[in-house]
Structure 1
Amino acid sequence: MKIRSKLFILIGTTIVALIVAGGFSYFHSYRQEQMSGELQDKQDLQTALKDLQFYIAGYSNDERAYLLTGDKKYTAEMADKKKSIVGLTKRLLPLLDEKIRKKSETGLTGYFNSSDRAIKAYDGGGKELAMTVHFGDERNIRKEVLNPVIESLDKKLEKELATAKADNKKAMMIQNTVFSGLLLLLMIGSVIFGTLIVRSIIRPIHLLNLNLKEIAEGEGDLTRRIRLDTKDELGVLAGTFDQFTESLQSMILRISETTSQVAASSQQLTASAEQNSHAAGHIAQSIQQVATGADIQMEKSAGSAEMIEETVQQLDVISANATHAGELTGIASGQAEEGKKYVSRTVEQMKQIEESVNITHEGIDELRGRSQSIGDIVSIITDISNQTNLLALNASIEAARAGESGRGFAVVAEEVRKLAEQSGQSAQEIKSLIEQIQHETGASSQSIENVKENVSVGLTVVQETEKQFHLIQESVTDVNEKIMGISGAIQLLANGSNSISQSADEMAASAKESSESAQSIAASTEEQLASMEEITASAQSLSYMAEELQDMISKFKI
């Protein structure tokens, strides 16, 4: 069930509860109004009965005053009171039994007839007769018929009024008790139902917030999953978050493996570069020795033309030097071949480093894409938080309209709104962290690009070094061949001075050429040493970057 449906059900349940409570209150208010109306009618009848008693007494007093004074105003007042008595009688007589009602009607008619006879007698000069009728027949009818009926009716109304008051009070107590119980039951049910719905919304949000906070702090457990059985928006969000965690876990595993390979490759590259530097140093020393020997030979051959005799005597020394030079060139040739092998290995390792750097670059690009996906998910969380906040505001408005009955629900709506604001703030913090990760990933990507450029340059330099080693080997071979020629020339010098002189000139030229070649090879070797130092520095930088990336990844549990 979606959150919107849950909130609609909660609001609908509250509205139904309010309608039920209001309907019950209206029904009992209507019933109470009816009972109060009946009670008021009985009180009005009791008042009318007292008025009737008052009008009858007043009618009798006005008649007696007229008989005593003869003032006509009393007869006018008697006529007014008679009308009031007749009106009240018509209202009260239906309350009496049939027998008593007929007796009352007969008595009232006789009373008015006696009054008319007294007035006529008084007007005809029979004052004594009028007094006799007034104090005789009229008094008897009033005391024996009218007053007992009025008193019995008054007692009946008093009894009915007391019973009605008691029933009304009892009904009021029952109504208040039932209404209070119903209202309490509805409030408890609304609180329980609202709590269950709010918990079903808050619990997944709390779990998501906790996991996102751990990932944002860089120490998240990427092996943990959120398992929600709900099919609402939070269930879908939890499933999406689990997919994101799995993707992030897989990506970090690949990055971890790649950084390990990069670190190992950089260490191998550093070691190979150091070996190449060491070998190049040996080659430089050997070439320097060859150059020194060539200089010595050139100096000696330059003076051999003038000192042929002396040269013949020094043939043994020259032969020994030639043999030593041949050994040196053989060593130099072997070292050049070994250096060529190391350079070939360096080329292969540089290619492996280039592949590792490309893999790392792809992993960082994929990390950047995943960071963008996280940003999209944070936007979804922010939208959900805003919608929840709006729903909480609407619920607060409805609760405010409900008045006192909706106060509890208003508190719940306020809590939901606070939680929505907290979720929105957490989502903004996550977004800021993701932007920082994207910024750092961009910097790492730029560093990898620099490493790729350095590796490409290093690969070119190493390949050029390989060519230089090949030239060194060819030069050393050439030197060796020339030294062998020198040995042959020495043998020819033993057969004749002219041959020795000619061979000395050739040896001087060859020695000069060998010296120049040795100097060129020495310069190339120094360039190779400088290139190896650059390769070593780049490899160390790559290893340091791989260690930093590995430290960042190790904060996650994968």
Structure 2
Amino acid sequence: MSIFAKKEKTVALLEEANKQRQFVRIEIHNDRDLMQQLSIIDLTLDDLAVARALQPLIQENISTIYNPMYNNPFPGIRSVVDMTPIGIDLAGSQQYVVSFFDGIIDDKFAGKRYQLSKYYLKTGVEVKWYLCTNQAFINNILDLIKEAYKDDSESIALASKVISKLFNLELQLCLSALQELQNEAAATKEIQAKQNIKGTIGAITEDLAAMSEEVGASVEDVIVRSEGIKTYLNEGLQSSIITAETSASGRKQLDQVIEQTVSLKDSVHHIQTSISSLETNSREIGDIVAVITSIADQTNLLALNAAIEAARAGEHGKGFSVVAAEVRKLAEQTKLSSNNITELVISTTQQIEDVVHQINNVNSKTVLVNQNVLETAESFDEILTASKTSREQNERNNQEIIKFTNILKEIGKADSKVADLADNLNETMQGY
């Protein structure tokens, strides 16, 4: 027994199609592509009349045609035939297939395919499962046709040809709409991506411009500060030069003081030697005076003895007595002079000792002064060395500051170019 319902009396398909010819139409407005497609697959009004003649058979057996696909457990097939997510139940889905055989191809017909494609795109239906399901429907319908017109090969051939054209058109419309929707979605994504890129680049260019402005201001500020540092370094360099010149002048004066100190030391040493000789001579004079004093004492004693002897001689010794008195007087004067000389020698010796002591003090102080002067000279040498080092360092720093300032100026120029590039990029993106 056949699984398909069968009319008690099968009317020849072509005869029935002629009756339906008056109810079919093709009314497409503003869709040249669709008209071209219909022309290429040669889908005519006669074909639509055949389709309309087959519709009662399709309607009677739609459950047998559609339900095997609807109840298929495979998700790929179910995603094509189950339209409940868009509010179309099983009966509505079945009638969608029946509508293939209405015999009318118009804007509404194309619109339904567009909406279905929109649903497929939204739910992520894969094309391969759509093609698979489409072919399964064709197979089920052809099986029905063969069973219903098994004794009429011409009707089977005619029906098969029309069904092939109808489902091919259905396939073209859905895939074309699907492609169009995908292109629109891609275009929307591209526009959104462009907007995002534009917004991102706009934000970047704004940030870049702001950063460029800040960098430019910072560079200008650093350049100004660098010029100030350069001025300070030049002043420091001049101060180092002045310090070096002053130190050199002071060093020359110290050299003169050292020479004078050495000369003074030599003079003091010479005086010290002379005073030592004078002290020796004074002592020798003292010794001579002591001898003279001793001789005067002995002469005085001899004069006294001579006077005594003259007194004993009486009248004969008077003349000798006078001589003895004169000799004694001379001896006493000599002793007195010797005593005076001795006192002068003692006083001179004391003064010489004082002078020697003072000269020794002067000599010690001269040595100390000479040592201090030498230490001061060493300090001046260190100052000269430090001044020279400072001057050389200042000169190097000055050269580095000049290089640094030149680099900053180059950075400023590059920053200006970056700002110009940011402006150009922003203008370019405005027209993007």
TM-score using structure 1 length? 0.33
Larger helix share, 1 or 2: 1
Greater relative CO (CA pairs within 8 A, separation 6+): 1
TM-score using structure 2 length? 0.42
Structure with higher Rg: it is 2
